[in-house]
Amino acid sequence: MIYFDNSATTFVSEAVKAKIIELTGDSMSANPGALHKLGNNAAQVYEGIRRETADLLGAKPEEIFFTSCATESANTAIKGYMSRNKRAGNAVISTRTEHKATLECLEYLSKSGYEIRYLKVGMDGKPLMESLEEELGKGDVALACFTLVNNETGSVLPFENIAKTIKAASPSTAIYLDCVQALGKMPINLMKLGADMCSFSGHKIHSIKGNGVLYVKKGVRIDPLILGGGQQEGMRSGTQSPVLAGAFLAALKEVTTGIDEAYAKVSEINAYLRKELRERGAEILSPDDALPYVLNVSFKGFESETMLHCLEIYDIYVSTVSACSAKQKKVSYVLLEMGVDRKTAANAVRLSFSRHNTMDEAKEFIKCVDQIYDQFLVK
């Protein structure tokens, strides 16, 4: 099997499986909120996990909150900030190439009376600076929402320039950043990064589904999405789970170790596939400076779903658009917003890699593409 669909989800690592078993023993079964010894022990383990997670992300423990997924983190950050900071402004800046978790939150805000200003993006998927400056110039911007690495193309946001532009024009504007596809693939230090809120996903870094992280910079105030017993300083009510938090930390430790070596390895795989696929007439839709872990390719003569199932015959797994949109069978809105024509976008397939993929797999992929062309392409 060749699994090139790691932007959708990743396989659970052995270290994560071991940590789950370790944290599901009887000594860890108590509620961390209980007053007795077992509860105190569970609380101490949980807070220890929180401290380690914060340290690896370059944040303070009180800035880290465990959630069920990155979608929950996004909803909490975007809705929560606008709910709490009504006097900060009535407008939100973003792009139409964001993940659905962000776009649906913005649609919700729009229906609630907020103004959503979408920036234009270039053919590389990056926001145009002149568009950003124009929208900031209109004033009244409470929040800006962006994605550090696009999940469909791998386009990397020039965040430093964007953040400087925003803070120079509107110092009070808060910035939410989707870091899901960046974590474990490029160095992230939240203190140096400069975003006010960030979301992360466990199952994209070889943890299990059902755990995510929300970062909220100290001093930033947001209303909670989930109300209840006031756990996690009232930010996210619900009984804390040392198991889920520990699974995230175990994965985080692995993917932040040897990050440069993994990047170099995946870069070679990406470069090889770009070269070989171009020689076979495919069009590379990911920009040249995209994160190498994502490669969006349009195969002439094959609609994306057809190519996906042809590859599946050879036990190779890829995706068409984002897994969160795939069931709707729509052409990628991300590619269309980048200026890709509809026919080319309709033939697009996303290959997404992990540090565990190999060059041998890439070469086998090319062999299978050749066989698919020979068998199915009408000449």
Say whether 324 is catalytic: yes
CA distances (Å), 263 to each of 153, 210, 268, 293, in order?
16, 26, 9, 8
CA distances (Å), 364 to each of 3, 360, 371, in order?
12, 6, 11
CA distances (Å), 211 to each of 65, 91, 248, in order?
11, 30, 7
Residue 283 pairs in a beta bridge with 298
The residues, ordered by sequence, that sit 6+ positions from 282 with a Cβ below 8 Å of its Cβ are 297, 298, 299, 300
Which SS3 state, helix, strand or coil, does residue 79 take?
helix
CA distances (Å), 118 to each of 126, 206, 211, in order?
12, 33, 30
**Set 105, 310, 324, 368: catalytic member:** 324
Residue 64 pairs in a beta bridge with 215
Of residues 309, 350, 316, the one with CA closest to residue 332? 350
d(CA 294, CA 182): 11
Token couple for 269: 């795989």
Burial of 1 (0-12, 13-18, 19+ CB in 10 A): exposed
How many other β-carbons are positioned within 10 Å of the β-carbon of residue 17?
Answer: 13
Token couple for 204: 């994209």
Token couple for 37: 């010894």
Of residues 324, 290, 249, the one with CA closest to residue 148? 290
The residues, ordered by sequence, that sit 6+ positions from 257 with a Cβ below 8 Å of its Cβ are none
Of residues 117, 114, 121, 122, the one with CA closest to residue 144? 117
DSSP states of 309-363: HHHHHTTEE-BSS-TTTGGGT---HHHHHTT--HHHHHTEEEEE--TT--HHHHH
Catalytic residues: 324
